[in-house]
Structure 1
């Protein structure tokens, strides 16, 4: 019997991490590809933090930064998930995986195509099943979240975050200026509306821009301290449910739903090639 299909996942943000964790837990060998400077907000549940820290652990799964694809198998054999900086996907050509999952969630296709692997899966809008990928997974909250699309595309991005505790756009904070962001609070802190959670230093104009909480709640996501941001860049996420502190450190319901659909597709594919 052949081994389980080798899977490469493009992207290591929080939603991607849900899929990576599910595949890892099911025993699939997985390699993660990331950019040089990931900008995850929900950093406590995003394996892309390994780019900065050398490793990142999410719900018992440890992702380890590697410098060369030759290290991937060794890391996988230890029960961990290798992660390499490879935004262009050169590792895909070198390693020839059976499955490629594009979990970048860029709302557009950044280069994934069906020639990359026998099975290609795209998460969210920007892909067309049967054209640039084989399968698309719906990522919009609601009745169709996690739906497996074999023909056509996911719902286009509305720009409106999902409703949590009665709040949508209000719970997501964007940079009001360009500069370097410095954190005043940390993920998991309870804040009140109007309270400063970070500030942006514009070193060119020697100005300081305060970043304040738009609603009361728990800081669920906050970009890395010292990260350079542009005006309008997403920098924080507040959960109005103050009693849900543990949610800051665990994979979300949305990520788990999407992950389940990816696993279903991969298992169906695997059963065919393993038979």
Structure 2
């Protein structure tokens, strides 16, 4: 077992911030993804490597690897390998020190506390001490980034926290089932009422003046109600290409949990 090797399930914006921080702190990180990731904040998500072959966020590159044999060479090259393996079959071969569920799916889709010496999960849907060793709080507020060793994270409300007075309006959702076609791109300034994209020719309009911070990939097949975009009223282009304060807080909580476990694993009598 390699105490520096961490396997992550999910390379969305929060998971990518975690992977980035762990990588920068000297850990070797592998990201497991699905074949067709539907990420909204594509510019800060390593899952985008599945679509484009690679993804660079804040100076750290992730690359898509096609086989298990390609994982270690990618790590040796200084990259974060992204491997299509939603069931985490690679665990037996990698024998990671920690497995982290960062899918933000709000439910346990196969995580098991016995998967590795340390198992973590981000957000609601998991019970610490039962599903995983610990859960990291992802809801904005006083406890954001807290490590929960007993119990669960705060339940999902489905309503984003307010930014400059805008809450649920910030999230764009598919008006119907169908295929997404872009009219605007991430980083564009948009005026209230302008068409951002369409789903099966049904327009999705800007709810207020702002900047398009996230937009699901062109041609994605989506279900009605799925989150497909993110409008930011702060209108700062750099926010579109960097991790959020929330993502950094969650990543800090994960790093603390990993280091705490490593420290006590070395001192079994304390």
In 1, Cα distance between equivalents of 2:152 and 2:243: 25
Report the TM-score, using the length of structure 2 for normalisation.
Answer: 0.96
User: Please, which of 182, 196, 216 is the counterpart of residue 209 of structure 2?
Assistant: 216
Deviation beyond 3 Å, 4+ runs, structure 1: 272-275
1:232 paired to 2:231: no
User: Please, which of 245, 250, 269 is the counterpart of residue 237 of structure 2?
Assistant: 245
Can you give the 5+ residue segments of structure 1 that lack an aligned partner in the other structure? 202-207
Equivalent position SS for 1:7 = strand
Equivalent position SS for 2:8 = strand
1:180 paired to 2:173: no
1:12 paired to 2:35: no
Equivalent position SS for 1:254 = helix
In 2, Cα distance between equivalents of 1:10 and 1:230: 23
In 2, Cα distance between equivalents of 1:90 and 1:52: 21
RMSD: 1.2
**How far apart are residue 219 of structure 1 and its match?**
0.2
1:259 paired to 2:258: no
In 2, Cα distance between equivalents of 1:188 and 1:199: 18
* Bigger shift: residues 252-261 or 4-13: 4-13
Contact 1:175 1:234 in 2 (8 A): yes
Contact 1:93 1:116 in 2 (8 A): no
In 2, Cα distance between equivalents of 1:111 and 1:71: 25
In 2, Cα distance between equivalents of 1:122 and 1:233: 22
Can you give the 5+ residue segments of structure 2 that lack an aligned partner in the other structure? none
In 2, Cα distance between equivalents of 1:61 and 1:151: 33
Equivalent position SS for 2:256 = helix
Q: 1:217-255, CA deviations, whole angstroms, 9 ceiling, x for partnerless residues?
A: 00000000111111111110000112x110000011100
Contact 1:22 1:259 in 2 (8 A): yes
Contact 2:3 2:96 in 1 (8 A): no
In 2, Cα distance between equivalents of 1:129 and 1:272: 18
In 2, Cα distance between equivalents of 1:55 and 1:263: 24
Q: 1:130-172, CA deviations, whole angstroms, 9 ceiling, x for partnerless residues?
A: 0010010000011110111000000010010111111110110
Residue 118 of structure 2 aligns with which residue? 119
Contact 2:197 2:205 in 1 (8 A): yes
Contact 2:123 2:154 in 1 (8 A): yes
**How far apart are residue 270 of structure 1 and its match?**
2.1
Q: How does 1:70-81 map to 2 (within 5 A)?
A: 70-81=69-80
In 2, Cα distance between equivalents of 1:76 and 1:273: 25
Report the TM-score, using the length of structure 1 for normalisation.
Answer: 0.94
**How far apart are residue 5 of structure 1 and its match?**
2.5
How many residue pairs match? The answer is 267
